[in-house]
Structure 1
Amino acid sequence: MDQRPEIDAYTQVETVLKVEFAGVHPAATVARCIEAAHHGAMEVTGYAYPGLVERIARKHLQVLAVVAAEQE
């Protein structure tokens, strides 16, 4: 079975979130949040659709931004 569409979908998620959080979080932080969201989704639901991973990662990044702003 070809896994290419899934890989492309996660690449797209990473690109979207890197653009959205540019100037807020480094690219490495975005990538780590995506990896954590993927892992968490797999652990809880048994699947990690790109849309679900994107929503989870976005929430993580938003919370990290709030915490960082509060520490300034």
Structure 2
Amino acid sequence: MSQLPDNSDRYEQVEAALRDEFAGVHPATTVTRCIQAAHYGAVEVTGHAYPGLVERIARKHLQVLATVQGS
């Protein structure tokens, strides 16, 4: 994930965990895009993009997308 320079190893762990969690629900590219969007949003709002915060935001995005797809 070259677009997320801070804590890149931890972001890779977040991405792997969310890919596993949402396997069969979302393609890997969607997970990656949600993580990138969460990273950007966290930096814009708080000035930081801690991996734990990025993970929580991305998970919520993925859950909402899954709900919308199920409708």
Give TM-score scaled by structure 1 length.
0.90
Aligned residues: 67
Offset at 1:5? 7.9
Q: Give CA deviations for 1:25-46 in whole Å, capped at 9, x if unaligned.
A: 0000000000000000000000
The amino acid across from 1:61 in the alignment is L
Q: Which runs of 5+ in 2 are unaligned?
A: none
Give TM-score scaled by structure 2 length.
0.91
CA RMSD across the alignment = 1.4
Structure of larger gyration radius: 1
- In structure 2, relative to structure 1, the CA distance for the partners of 1:27 and 1:41 (3 Å cut) is same
Distance 2:6 2:12 in 1: 10
Distance 1:26 1:5 in 2: 24
After the TM superposition, which parts of structure 1 deviate over 3 Å for at least 4 consecutive aligned residues?
Answer: none
Residue 7 of structure 2 aligns to a residue in which SS?
helix
1:38-57 matched pairs, under 5 angstroms: 38-57=39-58
